């Protein structure tokens, strides 16, 4: 059995932030909304792995397709499973909220704005922080969301993570970083049974997913950024004319 030490908490994170109500240090997430390939992979993971339970009820399939540069036919063919749902509709599912609350203890919340609600750092850390815990109904617990009601839906990719941490280590993460390698020293959360992806591949899968969730939480951000640049260029050009005009007006005064 191959054992990987996961560079889970704080691997490359010089900056830390606190989870809501907790003090567990979070891995920092630097998204890239211009990386269309990453956003497309993220959407694919989101639709395949998350939408069975969660909705993105404020986002339409078509809007995502347009912004991410995916042809509508491909979205219809591969990303919409319910023949009743048209591409112009919201990204919803058929899970009844009341029963879901009974099954999981809490209903799976809508995730459209999740990356803004909790912050991308939190979501990125959360999805990589599940570990085996037989006392929980789904056999897993989570470092940043203790007693979580969600199963580890990415376990087949990540593998089974076993917890060898003391409660204290778990509460504080292991934020002692080796200054030479930038990697976490020690490491008490260990992948005991490998999944289908390596640690790096899995981090990348979750990176793409959270990148997509960050886009979804503010779909107009890309547009605003490019518009902002254009406005600044316009103002710079306007300044030249305004300045020339000012000189013209004042030339007889002095």
Give the interface with ligand HEC as residue ranges (CB under 6 A).
49-50, 52-54, 104-106, 108-109, 111, 114, 118, 123, 126-127, 148-151, 153-154, 209
Numbers of helices and strands, H then E, in the chain:
10, 7
Minimum Å distance from CB 142 to ligand HEC?
9
CA distance 131 to 155: 9
Nearer Cβ to ligand HEC (170/209): 209
Q: How far is the CB of 249 from ligand HEC (least distance, A)?
A: 58
Do residues 234 and 226 touch, judged by C-beta distance below 8 A? no
Complex with ligand HEC: residue 187 or 212, whichever CB lies closer: 212
Please identify, using beta-carbon distances, which residue of 5 and 80 lies nearer to ligand HEC: 80
Q: How far is the CB of 140 from ligand HEC (least distance, A)?
A: 11
Instruction: Give whole-number Cα distances, 119 to 96, 98, 107, 115, 223, in Å.
Output: 27, 27, 20, 5, 21
d(CA 132, CA 208): 24
Q: Which residue is nearest to ligand HEC (CB)?
A: 50
CB of 230 to ligand HEC, least distance (A): 34
Residue 201 or 225: which CB sits closer to ligand HEC?
Answer: 201
| Cα–Cα dist 254/248, whole Å | 12
């Amino acid at each position: 059995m191959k054992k990987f030490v996961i560079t889970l908490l704080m691997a490359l994170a010089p900056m830390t932030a606190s989870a809501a109500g907790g003090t567990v240090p979070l891995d920092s997430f630097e998204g890239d909304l211009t990386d269309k390939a990453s956003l497309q992979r993220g959407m694919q993971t989101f639709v395949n792995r998350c939408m069975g339970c969660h909705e993105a009820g404020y986002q339409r399939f078509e809007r995502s397709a347009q912004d991410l540069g995916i042809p509508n036919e491909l979205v219809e063919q591969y990303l919409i499973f319910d023949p009743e749902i048209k591409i112009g509709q919201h990204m919803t599912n058929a899970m009844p909220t009341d029963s879901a609350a009974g099954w999981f203890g809490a209903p799976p919340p809508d995730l459209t704005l999740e990356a803004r609600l909790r912050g991308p750092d939190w979501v990125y850390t959360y999805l990589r922080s599940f570990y085996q815990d037989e006392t929980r109904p789904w056999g897993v617990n989570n470092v940043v969301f203790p007693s979580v009601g969600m199963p580890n839906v990415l376990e087949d990719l990540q593998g089974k993570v076993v917890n060898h941490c003391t409660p204290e280590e778990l509460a504080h993460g292991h934020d002692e970083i080796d200054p030479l390698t930038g990697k976490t020293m020690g490491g008490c959360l260990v992948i005991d049974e490998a999944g289908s992806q390596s640690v790096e591949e899995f981090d990348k899968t979750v990176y793409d997913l959270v990148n997509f969730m960050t886009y979804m939480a503010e779909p107009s951000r890309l547009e605003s950024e490019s518009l902002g640049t254009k406005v600044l260029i316009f103002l710079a050009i306007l300044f030249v004319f305004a300045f020339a005009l000012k000189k013209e007006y004042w030339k007889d005064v002095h």
